[in-house]
Amino acid sequence: MPNVPSDSPRGDPHPEPPRRVTMQRRGPILVDGPVEVELEDGTKVFSDRFRVALCTCRRSRRYPWCDTSHRERA
């Protein structure tokens, strides 16, 4: 078994590859799916898409999913 670097408290290797999260300066956060998102009020929403765009601007009419409203001029 290859020596897999880990940041887990016990030093155990992760059983699965890490989930990729892509940060962008202006725009959504891209997360490899499937994902479950818990909102501030405790509501949980789920997406089984290959990649999910999470809204960071709060303009989306489909929040927490990005609907590209961040591209509109203020």
* From 18, 43, 67, 73, residue interacting with ligand FES (rule: CB under 6 A): 67
Q: Does residue 52 bind ligand FES (CB under 6 A)?
A: no
- Of all residues in the chain, what percent are helix, strand and coil, respectively (each to 5)? 5, 25, 70
Q: Does residue 56 bind ligand FES (CB under 6 A)?
A: yes
Q: Does residue 68 bind ligand FES (CB under 6 A)?
A: yes
Q: Which residues contact 29 (CB under 8 A, 6 or more apart)?
A: 21, 22, 23, 53, 54, 56
Query: Which CB atom, from 32 or from 70, has the smaller least distance to ligand FES?
Result: 70
